[in-house]
């Protein structure tokens, strides 16, 4: 039996339950506000609240996006790790700017970040890589991320080669793998409201380095 799909245009949901999100509710800076909302998302029971959409564009200007896990954040920005030769890594090498979206749908919230991107220090990469499960460490060596493969067997062969290479010894961080930090220029906190008149409050860093708060039209 083939199910009839629902009409996307007819799928509506009101966002009135959480109430108002006003300027007086904001923390003094984006870091504090993100910490508050991130803690609430974890307490709410969202699966992987650190999952974020990372959007990039290379020299051609054609965008691409994928879901990546946030691994750290502080006043400097948001950190994730990847193969530098992957599509996102290559695009960021050509055009070092990105946008992040934390889509906390069940809470009627999202956080949107834009900013320049830089590599983290090698010491930071190695410290994080050392904390990963061994299988993930081997996977970083096994996979030529984003490259076209003939079949699944190629993935398994890459893993077998990595296991054979390192045996029972330590697995170092690959030279082509490491951390990227998004340095926020804007951090928007979006909360759903009824009638699609949502609350959107944005921290924006001005050219002289001062952070200002702005309300955006829904």
Burial class (CB in 10 A: 0-12, 13-18, 19+), 100: buried
Q: Is-catalytic flag, 12?
A: no
Active-site hit among 18, 122, 196, 215:
196
Q: What share of the chain is helix, strand, coil (3-state, %, to 5)?
A: 30, 30, 35
Residue-by-residue DSSP string for 160-192: HHHHHHHTTS--PPPTTEEEEEEEEEEEEEEE-
Task: List C-alpha distances in Å: 196 to 15, 111, 215.
Answer: 8, 17, 15
User: Looking up tokens 């096994």, which residue turns up?
Assistant: 142
Q: Which residues are catalytic?
A: 196
């Amino acid at each position: 039996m083939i199910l009839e799909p629902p009409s996307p245009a007819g799928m509506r949901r009101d966002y009135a339950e959480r109430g108002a999100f006003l300027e007086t509710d904001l923390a003094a800076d984006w870091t504090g506000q993100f910490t508050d909302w991130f803690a609430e998302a974890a307490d709410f029971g969202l699966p992987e609240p650190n999952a974020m959409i990372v959007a990039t564009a290379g020299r051609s200007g054609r965008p691409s996006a994928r879901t990546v896990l946030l691994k750290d954040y502080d006043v400097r920005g948001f950190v994730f790790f990847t193969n530098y030769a992957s599509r996102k890594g290559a695009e960021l090498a050509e055009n070092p700017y990105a946008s992040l979206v934390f889509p906390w749908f069940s809470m009627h919230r999202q956080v949107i970040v834009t900013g320049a991107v830089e590599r983290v220090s090698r010491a930071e990469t190695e410290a994080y890589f050392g904390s990963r499960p061994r299988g993930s460490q081997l996977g970083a060596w096994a996979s030529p991320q984003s490259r076209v493969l003939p079949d699944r067997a190629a993935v398994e062969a890459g893993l077998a080669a990595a296991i054979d290479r390192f045996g029972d010894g330590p697995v170092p961080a690959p030279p082509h793998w490491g951390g990227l930090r998004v340095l926020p220029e804007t951090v928007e906190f979006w909360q759903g409201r009824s009638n699609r008149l949502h609350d959107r409050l944005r921290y924006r860093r001005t050219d002289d380095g001062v952070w200002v708060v702005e309300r955006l039209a829904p």
